[in-house]
Chains A and B, each alone.
Chain A
Amino acid sequence: AQSVTQPDIHITVSEGASLELRCNYSYGATPYLFWYVQSPGQGLQLLLKYFSGDTLVQGIKGFEAEFKRSQSSFNLRKPSVHWSDAAEYFCAVGVLGGYNKLIFGAGTRLAVHP
Chain B
Amino acid sequence: GAVVSQHPSWVICKSGTSVKIECRSLDFQATTMFWYRQFPKQSLMLMATSNEGSKATYEQGVEKDKFLINHASLTLSTLTVTSAHPEDSSFYICSARDRAGWNTDTQYFGPGTRLTVL
Contact = CB atoms under 8 A, between A and B. Distances in A.
Interface in A8-53: 32, 34, 36, 41-46, 49, 51
A69 interface: no
Contact of B106 (A43, A49, A96, A106): A49
Given A43-B112, A90-B44, A106-B43, A99 B106 contact: no
**Interface hub of B32, B43, B110 (most chain A Cβ within 10 A):** B43
Contacts of B28: none
A102 interface: yes
Interface residues of B, number: 24
Contacts of B46: 101-103
A94 B102 contact: yes
Contact of B109 (A32, A44, A103, A109): A44
A100 B103 CA distance: 12
Interface in B2-21: 4
B93 A43 contact: yes
B110 A107 contact: no
A98 B49 contact: yes
Interface string A79-114: 000000000001000101011111111110100000
Interface of B: 4, 32, 34, 41-46, 49, 51, 57, 93, 95, 100, 102-103, 106-112
Interface of A: 32, 34, 36, 41-46, 49, 51, 90, 94, 96, 98-107, 109
